[in-house]
């Protein structure tokens, strides 16, 4: 009898096509709650999940046959890793394949904030183009500005690499310092968190969400940043405290912010929606056809490997 696989939501069909050749696959196409997961997960040997799926201890304990949770994301904070490990369930993610797309998106936010592009487009669509003006919607130059990166992993390095086009010196902070060769490659310098805050003209958050990084950016941190600083978060929403960011933007403690993720996603602080100095996107970091297809295929391959008794390509648990 074929082993059973559950795909939790709408993803590129490549994953279903790959898995259905070997397994009995159920493809769900709407979001499930924790209770719905508990009631449905029991028969399955593997599940292909998204960040929105609450794979909690209750869900995992309701799955006696489960061998693999393949998360369609680089993050995995939606999964109870402690329970998964205790139950002998392999957890995988999809790193690397979304690095370039997410770095592109971070830079789209940087450019949008620096040149006030959303404000310009909204003005044109609602008011109409009235002609050029020397003081109209003045933004900021990027050439030579200091790019600060919180979390210098694959995506952080890709964001730094793109800064070379603007001849930007890069400051970075994370738990460990990179080798001198890596720092030279990315024109980067390791600094304390406080120095990162004080000296960055653009501060890009590219860190995973952990107990250490949760609410790392609050009113205290925004007050230490430059008044003309741009804050970018295309990583995980709870790394910043949204109410405090609203206060900083209203008070012009910092100039602007660009967000692709939110503290209580999919809910967004209503005040953010009203602020002209905040560019908001609906979690589009890896949203290209090529990247999402690669993610789907990697998640499917991890499931194939685990259910065949082999090690997955990208295991989260060690």
Assess whether 134 and 264 both reside in one domain: yes
Q: Residue 1 — pLDDT band, cuts 50, 70, 90? A: confident
Assess whether 23 and 125 both reside in one domain: no
Whether 315 is in a domain gets the answer no
Respond yes or no: is residue 283 known to be catalytic: yes
- Do the beta carbons of residue 42 and residue 297 sit within 8 Å? no
Assess whether 166 and 248 both reside in one domain: yes
Please pick, among 119, 178, 183, 265, the residue that the annotation labels catalytic.
265
Whether 312 is in a domain gets the answer no
DSSP-derived letter for residue 166 is G
CATH number at residue 106: 3.40.50.720
> Tokens 């304990």 belong to which residue?
61
Respond yes or no: is residue 176 known to be catalytic: no
Respond yes or no: is residue 290 known to be catalytic: no
Whether 274 is in a domain gets the answer yes
Q: How open is the CA angle 151-199-143, to the nearest 5 degrees?
A: 90
Assess whether 118 and 208 both reside in one domain: yes
Long-range CB contact pairs, 281-290, < 8 A, 24+? 281/105, 281/109, 284/105, 284/260, 285/98, 285/101, 285/102, 285/105, 285/106, 285/234, 285/260, 285/261, 286/73, 286/98, 286/101, 286/102, 286/105, 287/101, 287/105, 288/101, 289/12, 290/101
Which CA distances in Å does 318 have to 50, 81, 315?
A: 21, 11, 7
Assess whether 141 and 76 both reside in one domain: no
Whether 261 is in a domain gets the answer yes
Instruction: Find the domain containing 75 and state its range.
Output: 4-95+289-307
Whether 318 is in a domain gets the answer no
Q: Residue 172 — pLDDT band, cuts 50, 70, 90? A: very high
List, for residues 262-273, the tens digit of each pLDDT value: 999 999 999 999
Q: Helix 99-114 and helix 154-162: axis angle, to 10°? A: 50
Q: Indicate the number of domains in the chain.
A: 2
Determine the average pLDDT of the residues in 272-297.
Answer: 96
Assess whether 268 and 140 both reside in one domain: yes
Report pLDDT for 300: 98
Whether 39 is in a domain gets the answer yes
Furthest CA-CA distance within the chain = 72
Assess whether 64 and 103 both reside in one domain: no
Please state, as a whole number, how many other Cβ atoms lie within 10 Å of the Cβ of residue 223. 14
Q: Residue 318 — pLDDT band, cuts 50, 70, 90? A: confident
Assess whether 90 and 181 both reside in one domain: no
Assess whether 48 and 159 both reside in one domain: no
List, for residues 4-62, the tens digit of each pLDDT value: 999 999 999 999 999 999 999 999 989 999 999 999 999 999 999 999 999 999 999 99
Task: Catalogue the E-assigned strands of the chain.
Answer: 4-7, 24-27, 46-49, 68-71, 90-92, 147-150, 170-173, 188-190, 202-205, 230-233, 256-259, 278-280
Please pick, among 4, 115, 177, 283, the residue that the annotation labels catalytic.
283
- Do the beta carbons of residue 180 and residue 205 sit within 8 Å? no
Q: To the nearest 5 percent, what fractions of the chain are helix, strand and coil?
A: 35, 15, 45
Single pTM value for the model: 0.89
Assess whether 88 and 172 both reside in one domain: no
Please pick, among 236, 240, 241, 292, the residue that the annotation labels catalytic.
236
Distant-in-sequence, close-in-space partners of 272: CB < 8 Å, separation ≥ 6: 242, 245, 246, 249, 259, 278, 280
């Amino acid at each position: 009898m074929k082993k059973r696989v559950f795909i939790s939501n709408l993803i590129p069909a490549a994953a279903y096509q790959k898995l259905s050749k070997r397994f009995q696959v159920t493809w769900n196409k709407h979001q499930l709650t924790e209770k719905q997961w508990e009631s449905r997960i029991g028969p399955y040997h593997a599940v292909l999940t998204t960040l929105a799926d609450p794979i909690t201890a209750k869900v995992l304990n309701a799955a006696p046959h489960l061998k693999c949770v393949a998360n369609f994301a680089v993050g995995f904070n939606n999964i109870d890793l402690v329970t998964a490990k205790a139950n002998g369930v392999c957890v995988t993610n999809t790193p690397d394949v979304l690095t370039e797309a997410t770095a592109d998106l971070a830079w789209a936010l940087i450019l949008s904030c620096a040149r006030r592009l959303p404000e310009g487009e909204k003005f044109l669509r609602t008011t109409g183009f009235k002609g050029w003006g020397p003081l109209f919607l003045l933004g900021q130059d990027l050439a030579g500005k200091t790019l600060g990166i919180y979390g210098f992993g694959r995506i952080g390095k890709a964001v730094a690499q793109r800064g070379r086009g603007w001849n930007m010196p890069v400051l970075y902070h994370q738990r460990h310092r990179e080798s001198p060769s890596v720092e030279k490659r990315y024109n980067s310098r390791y600094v304390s968190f406080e120095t990162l805050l004080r000296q960055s003209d653009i501060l890009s958050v590219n860190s995973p969400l952990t107990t250490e990084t949760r609410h790392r950016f609050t009113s205290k941190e925004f007050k230490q940043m430059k008044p003309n600083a741009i804050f970018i978060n295309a990583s995980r929403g709870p790394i910043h405290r949204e109410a405090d960011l609203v206060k900083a933007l209203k008070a012009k403690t910092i100039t602007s912010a660009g967000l692709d993720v939110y503290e209580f996603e999919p809910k967004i602080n209503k005040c953010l929606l009203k602020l002209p100095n905040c560019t908001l996107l609906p979690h589009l970091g890896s949203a290209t056809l090529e990247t999402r297809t690669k993610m789907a295929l990697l998640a499917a391959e991890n499931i194939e490997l685990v259910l065949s008794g082999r090690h997955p390509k990208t295991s989260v648990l060690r």
